[in-house]
Structure 1
């Protein structure tokens, strides 16, 4: 899992926009499935990790790391 470029609370851009028109999503849960929340309307979607990796375009904002 160390090779993953994304982490909890990152804001990512997906390849296709949400029907509300927004294309920014925040990662709110990580595990075997990843839950993302639309930054426009607040709708959340859970995707299998493999599907999420295919649909992600880029990371817009990195989460603050606590060390």
Structure 2
């Protein structure tokens, strides 16, 4: 599977967060990936393999500097 996401991208997961939002910002990348809910600010860390299974699509690419 090709990596099509990057740091600070906004992604949509297969299941929405209990707060009702389904927009997550990638805030850390490594062996584990940490994502933050854009609505309530809740952070979740999961192994990269699980993240790739649970991610649906990239909604917004991060702005390149």
**TM-score by structure 1 length?**
0.92
Q: Which residue of 2 aligns with 1:42?
A: 41
CA distance in 2, matches of 1:61, 1:28: 14
**1:40-67 deviations in whole A, cap 9, x for unaligned?**
100000010000000000000000123x
Q: Which runs of 5+ in 2 are unaligned?
A: none
Q: Which residue of 2 aligns with 1:9?
A: 8
Q: Which runs of 5+ in 1 are unaligned?
A: none
Taking only aligned residues, the RMSD between alpha carbons, in angstroms, comes to 0.7
> How far off its partner does 1:18 sit?
0.3
CA distance in 1, matches of 2:34, 2:23: 13
In the alignment of these two chains, the number of paired residues is 64
